[in-house]
Amino acid sequence: MLEVRNLTKIYEDGTLAVDNVSFTVPDGEFLVVIGLSGSGKSTLLRCINRLIDPTEGEIIWNGVDLAKLEGDELRMARRKIGMVFQHFNLVDRSTVLVNILTGRLGYTKTWPSLLHRFSKADRDKAWGTLKRLGIEDQAHKLARELSGGQQQRVGIARALMQDPELMLADEPVASLDPVLAHSILQHLEDLNQEDELTIICSLHYLDLVQRYSTSVIGLKDGKLVYQGSKEDIRNMTDEEFKTIYGEEAVRISDTSLEGSLGEVVEA
């Protein structure tokens, strides 16, 4: 269980990005964070795995306050938290395999890893993960040679290599077209349901939120403005959504490919 208490982040330039946010994520949850661009979603997610140091507050995970960890302890905690990024954040000029093996760095001794030596078990695991995400054919290509959807699968595979207990996904489908968005989110849903992986994912489109989330929090200007269960979000109208999102709120099915996509969403 993850418990965020009174989390605040003020950037060096004085920007108040996250303002006294508290919420709880029970294990096995698919929590979706919604909010306008600039509302603090990325900052919140990055505070959890400490890519960003929170200014104030506690992040209690399995009884440990992540906000206070330093050095090796922090890294040990981090390797149990996978992260998927909007822009995939792959190392373009490394191969897919190397990108995926990067996920094992937290478990590998420094010297062998600097020489790109990974254990047989790690490499087998990498191939298993590649297969699970259906990209084993791409293993030896450079990451930049892949399409967006394939790159995000590599991103997920990298996170999976960490044997994560928690998965953070920062707008994982915002750079992808709607069909691919569903296929990527279905992978995450699969992990959530089969592996009982806790997922915290920020999303933009109401219908994606309704389709995949088990609970939702909404941010506006860094403040927590909405908290709802699966039921709440299913019943949410566009109007309510707009109070969080403002007039920008859209359904992914509004943006393109109406007919064909409607079915995917319905399914």
Partner 1 sequence: MKTKSKVFKEEPNLPSLVPPWLAALLSAIVPGLGQALARAVQRGLVIFFSFVSIVGLLIWRFRLAAPRDEGFFNIFKKALYLEPIFYFITALVILLYIWIIIDAYQIAKRAGGPKRSKPIMVFVFLLLVFFIIGWQIGQIDLYAFFSQVDDALPAISRVLWPWERAITYPEEMWMGLATLETPCDGNPPPPTEPLEDRPYLVVDPTCGIPSTQDEAEDGSVIVVPGTKLQVEGYNFAPNQEVELWWRDPATSQFRHREAGEITRVIPDDDGYFEVDITWPYRLIPDSYLDETVNWELQGRQVTNVGDWEFSEELKLAIEKMIETIFIGMMATFFGIILSVPFSFLAAKNLMRGNPFTLGIYYLVRTVLNIIRSIEPLIWAIIAIIIVGLGPFAGILALVLHSIAALGKLYSEAIESIDPGPIEAVQATGANWFQTVMYGVVPQIIPPFVSFTIYRWDINIRMSTVIGLVGGGGIGYLLTQWIRMLDYSAAGIAVWFIAITVAILDYLSAAIRERFV
Ligand X SMILES: Nc1ncnc2c1ncn2[C@@H]1O[C@H](COP(=O)(O)OP(=O)(O)O)[C@@H](O)[C@H]1O
- CA-CA distance, 234 to 171, in Å (whole number)? 20
Distances (CA, A) of 173 to 86, 155, 181: 6, 12, 5
Among 4, 9, 33, 42, interactor with Mg ion by CB under 5 A = 42
* Inter-residue contact 168 to 214 (CB < 8 Å): no
Sorted by sequence, the CB contacts under 8 Å of residue 97 that are 6+ apart come out as 126, 130, 139, 140
Q: Which is nearer to ligand X, 41 or 79 (CB)?
A: 41
The CA distances from residue 158 to 24, 51, 54, 101, 213, in Å, are 26, 17, 25, 7, 23
Is residue 213 close enough to count as binding Mg ion by CB under 5 A?
Answer: no
| 54 lines the binding site for ligand X (CB under 6 A) | no
# chain residues binding ligand X, by CB under 6 A: 12
Find all residues with CB under 8 Å of 264, minimum gap 6, and list them. Answer: 178, 179, 182
One residue of 42, 49, 138, 213 binding ligand X per CB under 6 A: 42
Does the footprint of partner 1 cover residue 89 (CB under 8 A)?
Answer: yes
How big is the chain, counted in residues? Answer: 267
Cβ(48)–Cβ(200) below 8 Å? yes
Amino acid at 213: S
Nearest residue by C-beta to ligand X? 42
Which helix or strand (DSSP H or E) is residue 158 part of?
helix 148-160
In angstroms, the CA 35 to CA 241 distance is: 10
Write each residue from 133 to 172 as x if it is in contact with partner 1 (CB under 8 A), else as -, in one continuous string: ----------------------x--xx-xx----------
Position among 21, 25, 31, 43 found at the interface with ligand X (CB under 6 A): 43
Instruction: Select from 7, 40, 90, 103 the one that contacts ligand X (CB under 6 A).
Output: 40
Position 43 contacts Mg ion (CB under 5 A): no
68 makes contact with partner 1 (CB under 8 A) = no
Task: Quote the least distance from Cβ 245 to partner 1, whole Å.
Answer: 26
Distance of closest approach, residue 112 Cβ to ligand X, in angstroms? 34
Q: Which is nearer to partner 1, 83 or 176 (CB)?
A: 83
Which residues of the shown chain bind ligand X in the complex (CB under 6 A)? 11, 13, 15, 17, 35, 37-43
Which residues of the shown chain bind partner 1 in the complex (CB under 8 A)? 49, 51, 75-83, 85, 87-94, 98, 102-108, 110, 113-114, 155, 158-159, 161-162
